[in-house]
Amino acid sequence: MKRILVTGALGQIGSELVPALRERYGADHVVASDIRMPAAGSALSNGPFHHVDCTSQRQIQEAVRRFEVDAIYHLASLLSAVAEERPQAAWDVNMGGLYRVLEVARENSCSVFVPSSIGAFGPSTPKDDTPQDTLQRPTTMYGVTKVAGELLCDYYHTRFAVDSRGLRYPGIISYVAPPGGGTTDYAVEIYYDAIEHGRYSCFLEPNTRLDMMYIPDAVKAAIDLMEADAARLEHRNAFNVAAMNFTPEEVAAEIARHIPEFTISYAVDPVRQGIADSWPNAIDDTAAREEWGWSPSYDLERMTSDMLEQLRRKLGAAG
């Protein structure tokens, strides 16, 4: 039976990946870890929690040995907008953390899941149907750490036979934990503000098209890839995965189908707009579909119905 360590477990993806992994492998077999401590009564309190700062190899090693871990989902990372504000910290956390996780994985024969991102692409990458294997010259610190991370994971696989695997996630939309510091965060905020205030002021321009994914698909993608037959994987560490792409204008129109009085306005943040403009509009995920059967369940319409229903319940709003 697998024993899994999840780093960055209190973040947007970890908050929903940990329960899904516990459901699948048993609560005692999934150790949630983070640099922060969980709040009392947190949804992660049904299984082990261990404090881990992923820039400390000793702390990662200690968690892996203590819980006899054989698979690490390494989610701890700074997102694009924060990384642009604090590039040195982003290098330390994103690269330093990954390097240390891979070293611990090498020494303890663990498999490793590492999320990359559409941020690993840059302005010279083809913007539409962005191929799996293409030009990657990102212009952000986040992107630099994501491309370097993809290469480092490949290196640990070919050089040390570490079973490393990863995905290039688009913007993730969820209602449990906030994303915290990304360029695609508007696509989460818009749902909260639609319910709480009936209006939203967006920091990206109305026609900025980006790939997005609803959290249940993001969680399923990670688990499916880690369970995939290794013999079928040609790409391993940086699979493009797509589910939907839209602009702020389009998601606002979809929300307005449920909340007719909803309005959107724009107060563009040049930094996040610049980051978004350097990313693709829509990536091609054929390799993921062919090599491990990737197939998302949610499009914009289905996600919007579910997000609004879940958020109304969470925020206690009527309607």
Among 8, 122, 166, 171, binds ligand AKB (CB under 6 A): 171
Binding segment toward ligand AKB, per CB under 6 A, in 59-67, 111-119, 241-249, 292-300: 111-119
149 touches ligand AKB (CB under 6 A):
no
Least distance CB 29 / ligand AKB (angstroms): 28
79 touches ligand AKB (CB under 6 A):
yes
Selected catalytic residue, list 73, 99, 142, 175: 142
Pick the closer one to ligand AKB by CB: 14 or 171: 171
Least distance CB 149 / ligand AKB (angstroms): 12
SS (H, E, C) the chain: CCCEEEECCCCCCHHHHHHHHHHHHCHHHEEEEECCCCCCCCHHHHCCEEECCCCCHHHHHHHHHHCCCCEEEECCCCCHHHHHHCHHHHHHHHHHHHHHHHHHHHHHCCEEEEEEEHHHCCCCCCCEEECCCCCCCCCCHHHHHHHHHHHHHHHHHHHHCCCEEEEEECEEECCCCCCCCCCCCHHHHHHHHHHHCCEEEECCCCCCCEEEEEHHHHHHHHHHHHHCCHHHCCCCCCEECCCEEECHHHHHHHHHHHCCCCEEEECCCHHHHHHHHCCCCEECCHHHHHHHCCCCCCCHHHHHHHHHHHHHHHHCCCC
Q: Is 142 a catalytic residue?
A: yes
- The single-letter code of the amino acid at 10 is L
The CB-nearest residue to ligand AKB is 182
- Which residues, at least 6 apart from 53, have a Cβ–Cβ distance to it below 8 Å? 35, 59
- Which residues, at least 6 apart from 1, have a Cβ–Cβ distance to it below 8 Å? 25, 26, 29
118 touches ligand AKB (CB under 6 A):
yes
Pick the closer one to ligand AKB by CB: 63 or 172: 172
Among 14, 19, 97, 119, binds ligand AKB (CB under 6 A): 119
Instruction: Report 125-144 residues binding ligand AKB (CB under 6 A).
Output: 142
Least distance CB 121 / ligand AKB (angstroms): 10
Pick the closer one to ligand AKB by CB: 83 or 110: 83
Instruction: Report 211-230 residues binding ligand AKB (CB under 6 A).
Output: none
Among 15, 33, 59, 80, binds ligand AKB (CB under 6 A): 80
Least distance CB 183 / ligand AKB (angstroms): 4
- Which residue in this structure is represented by tokens 């590039």? 87
Instruction: Report 181-210 residues binding ligand AKB (CB under 6 A).
Output: 182-184
Least distance CB 272 / ligand AKB (angstroms): 8
Tell me, by CB under 6 A, how many residues bind ligand AKB: 14
Least distance CB 279 / ligand AKB (angstroms): 7
Residues making contact with ligand AKB (CB under 6 A): 79-80, 117-119, 142, 169-172, 179, 182-184
Q: Which positions are annotated as active-site residues?
A: 142
